[in-house]
A and B are shown apart, each in its own frame.
Chain A
Amino acid sequence: MTDTTPPLPEKARAAEGPWATAWRRLKRDRAALAALAVLLVILAACLAAPLYATYVSGTNPFATNLNGTITVDGKSRDVLEASTEGLGLGLTPIGPTWQLGPYMLGADNQGRDVAARLLYGGRNSLFIAGAAAVLCLVVATFVGVVAGFFGGLVDTVLSRILDVLWAFPIFLLAISLSIVLISQPLLIGPFEIRSGSLALPIVIIGVVYIPYVARPIRNHVITLMKSEFVTAAVGLGASPWRILWVDILPNVVTRIIVFVPLMLALNMIIESALSFLSIGVQPPDASWGTIIQDGQGLLYSRPAVALAPGIAIAVTVLALNIFGDGVRDALDPKSTVRIG
């Protein structure tokens, strides 16, 4: 029984290619389209961050603004307000004004505009998630296909390396790397990774999920190798490279595409966790995870600082997951790719 052959076109449109079928299915999926629209809106908003910072918030979201004042409802207020009650301990950053303008979502403990940082942070979060997904999928596909195609010792060695990677605590890797890089930048071929550059979280997140993607690809390739059409091709005397290019890879590609939105979603979450542990984006730059970290210290007096980026992550990841579902249903309805 071969339940892994590419999705067969529906009978009514026998002439249609698999990609066209997928696209047609996706277009019918209203939830997926709505999710896509939400994603595009979020992306556009994040890309417009400099405009927001210049024309709406009017403050530099990367510099401390400890002595600043703003005018709310005709009254001048300090951005960091000193407590006047009792012993007068503590300073509280200004809360959300809920008006389009400076400090719409309030300030963080350094007097910076949270709304502007949220938009800039979204850029970094999305960029890191995207770049890490690309890195991960490329490497994982290579490893998975090589392991599955050649089998034997190659497969055993690669699989065990994947095991090590999968069971290895990523936070140890991340913390060590971030310290190692302060002293000397790491050179990987033409790429240079410096501390504080976005490359660090990208590499860490990209590497961590390689086993997660490579394993199903490997299993898929192994099943394909045993399938009737490959056996048939071997019987017809096709060269291994031909089998790889013609029979294996095209089948693997649909799987990989199914992974893309799900990897993005996963990466968003892990990026926030890394930044929460301050291994990801370095100050004064922002990502949604670092804003949650900043807001953690203000959770009781100014919960908006931590809530806003958390909601942003949840909405983005939700949209990615819904869209990912749509893509999967459209491309590969029987796949059991797992999210989360």
Chain B
Amino acid sequence: MLFALLARLGQMVLVMFGISVVAFLIFFATPGADPSARIAGRNASQETLQQVRHDFGLDRPLPVQYALMMKRLFVTRDLTSFVNRGQKVIPTVMNAIPITLSLVCGAAVLWVLGGLVVGVVAGATRGSYVDRGLMMLGLAGISMPVFWLGEVANLVTQSRWHDTWAFSWVPALGYVPLSVDPWGWFKALVIPWTVLATLYVGLYGRVLRASLIEMMQEDFIRTARAKGIGETRVLLHHGLRTSLVAFVTMFGLDFGALVGGGALLTEVVFGLQGVGKLTYDALQTLDLPMILATVIYASFFVVMANFVVDILHAILDPRARDAR
């Protein structure tokens, strides 16, 4: 078991290495990606261009450049941006993390609670109109592009009905740090939370319902029923507890991906300077150091989430362990 764990950890590092190499190579395969001329400025002389290229080490062989960049990213930790020169990449990502965490955690609370309510109610009222209505609403939530829903939310709350009583409390787009103004933090994030959670409430509600229904047909539940335990108690106590394995697995993967910057479009639409927005900006400006930092950061969370979920799965569900 320990060996398997170590092997898996090694593979994880390998995956992250692979991702960083691919990102690096793609960057240099892109015509016009060479940042020298952008760093040197419009109408720079050829001497200046060469000087800049040399200063930034862009005239060295690719493997050397890669090694240097990784060294500055992980060992000396002083890698700086190509675009906003002097901006250290690591503190920038660190500063963006609380914003992304605020967004994702708040949304996660909403979607987990929402998903639980929807799933349990729909599972308990299986086949009724309540069930069908909830499932249809859930599907509708899944079916909307999140950036579009965000735009519509902005249209409604920032412009069309901003002056009415319903939305006059909505602050300007942007982030307010929790430590500065907790109430402002909440007001600034509540709409992004809702928009991001809309997608997942439907998803989680559906998965929970499906697994509840499946569980209710299992033998041990029948036994519990036969013992005369009330239906609600059976549902909440036995069914829910067992179904939560699937729920937690899913949550781990989604949460990891979102914290890693997966909420990119939501952050962009709502002007939140989180890791996703950072990634988006770095891509727009082809800022290689920032791209590498955010890509490695994101892949860490995605790979880590996969790993944790696999382990949990192996512990919780013996069948999965046999399968590998």
Interface size classification for chain A: 35 or more
A223 lies within 8 A of chain B by Cβ: yes
Q: Interface residues of A: mostly helix, strand, loop or mixed? A: helix
Chain A, residue nearest B211 (CB): A336
A283 CA to B189 CA, complexed, in Å:
35
A70 contacts across to B, CB distance below 8 A: none
Chain B, residue nearest A169 (CB): B295
Chain A, residue nearest B202 (CB): A340
A265 B303 Cβ-Cβ under 8 A? no
Task: List residues 110-156 of chain B with CB under 8 A from any CB of chain A.
Answer: 132, 136, 139-140, 142-145, 147-149, 151-152, 154-155
B250 contacts across to A, CB distance below 8 A: 338
A171 CA to B23 CA, complexed, in Å:
11
Task: List residues 138-195 of chain B with CB under 8 A from any CB of chain A.
Answer: 139-140, 142-145, 147-149, 151-152, 154-155, 159-160
Chain A, residue nearest B254 (CB): A340
B30 A322 Cβ-Cβ under 8 A? no
Tell me the total A-B contact number using a CB cutoff of 8 A.
Answer: 140
B47 lies within 8 A of chain A by Cβ: no
B246 lies within 8 A of chain A by Cβ: yes
B145 A183 Cβ-Cβ under 8 A? no
B19 A300 Cβ-Cβ under 8 A? no
B15 contacts across to A, CB distance below 8 A: 160, 163-164, 167
A292-317 interface bits toward B, Cβ cutoff 8 Å, 1 = contact, 0 = none:
10001001100100110010011101
A176 B207 Cβ-Cβ under 8 A? no
Interface centre among B29, B142, B149 (most CB of A within 10 A): B142
B139 contacts across to A, CB distance below 8 A: 318, 321-322, 325
A47 lies within 8 A of chain B by Cβ: no
Instruction: Please give the distance in Å from A301's CB to the nearest CB on chain B.
Output: 10
Contact residue among B136, B140, B206, B324 (Cβ-Cβ distance under 8 Å from A222): B324
B67 lies within 8 A of chain A by Cβ: no
Q: Tell me which of A85-93, A97-105, A269-277 binds B.
A: A269-277
A77 CA to B125 CA, complexed, in Å:
56
B142 A306 Cβ-Cβ under 8 A? no
Chain B, residue nearest A272 (CB): B145
A169 B279 Cβ-Cβ under 8 A? yes
A24 contacts across to B, CB distance below 8 A: none
A55 lies within 8 A of chain B by Cβ: no
Count of B interface residues, CB-CB < 8 Å: 62
Task: List residues 155-190 of chain A with CB under 8 A from any CB of chain B.
Answer: 156, 160-161, 163-164, 166-169, 171-173, 175-176, 179-180, 182-183
A310 contacts across to B, CB distance below 8 A: 144-145, 148-149, 151-152
B27 A226 Cβ-Cβ under 8 A? no
B30 contacts across to A, CB distance below 8 A: 176, 179-180
Decide yes or no: A222 and B145 within 8 Å by CB, A171-B280, A176-B27 being known contacts: no
Contact residue among B29, B151, B214, B264 (Cβ-Cβ distance under 8 Å from A171): B264
A269 B298 Cβ-Cβ under 8 A? no
B144 A313 Cβ-Cβ under 8 A? yes
A118-130 interface bits toward B, Cβ cutoff 8 Å, 1 = contact, 0 = none:
0000000000000
* Pairs of residues from A and B, 5 with the lowest C-beta to C-beta distance, nearest first: A317-B143, A167-B299, A167-B302, A318-B143, A310-B148
What would 15 more interface pairs be, CB under 8 Å, given A180-B31, A219-B323, A325-B139? A156-B11, A167-B302, A172-B23, A173-B26, A179-B33, A182-B31, A289-B145, A292-B147, A292-B151, A296-B151, A299-B151, A300-B155, A310-B144, A334-B214, A340-B202
Q: What are 11 A-to-B residue pairs whose CB atoms are below 8 Å?
A: A160-B14, A163-B11, A168-B295, A175-B283, A175-B286, A176-B27, A179-B33, A289-B145, A313-B144, A314-B144, A318-B143
Chain A interface residues (CB < 8 Å from chain B)? 31, 156, 160-161, 163-164, 166-169, 171-173, 175-176, 179-180, 182-183, 219, 222-223, 226, 265, 269, 272-273, 276, 289, 292, 296, 299-300, 303, 306-307, 310, 313-315, 317-318, 321-322, 325, 334, 336, 338-340
